[in-house]
Amino acid sequence: MTWTLPEPMLTTPVPVPDLRPGWAGEPKWDGFRALLHTDAGRVVLRSRRGTEMAPAFPDIAAAAGQLPDATALDGELVVWEDDRLAFERLQNRLQRRGAAAARAAGGSVDLTADPTIMGETSSE
């Protein structure tokens, strides 16, 4: 059976960020949602709609190559500039195709493939 990336976990906007006991929230990053998977030395980096993103983010793909096989991350790609998120610089990455446009960082929202942690809470 061929493994495929799971569907991204999408956010739900709420009028007031009150959370029920046992729930946690996370900030809205000003970046691109990305799904990353490693398997047998191969790295797949895709947008939440399935667009291949590795050519625009070769540094992220290269760093991901150091992760263990069968790792899957659901997260956000961002560019920091002068202590702020710079979405316009991130957009330049897609147009200029590569790390020379701006240095990107990846923030993992969810580990989605490790069967030993499935069902665990984020604090665990």
64: phi then psi, degrees, rounded to nearest 5: -65, -25
Active site residue 28: yes
6: phi then psi, degrees, rounded to nearest 5: -70, 165
90: phi then psi, degrees, rounded to nearest 5: -65, -40
67: phi then psi, degrees, rounded to nearest 5: -75, 155
Q: Which of 12, 17, 23, 28 is catalytic?
A: 28
- For residues 53 and 45, is the Cβ–Cβ distance under 8 A? yes
Which is nearest to 6 in space by CA: 42, 41, 50?
50
CA–CA dist 103, 22 (Å, integer): 36
**Catalytic residues, which ones?**
28
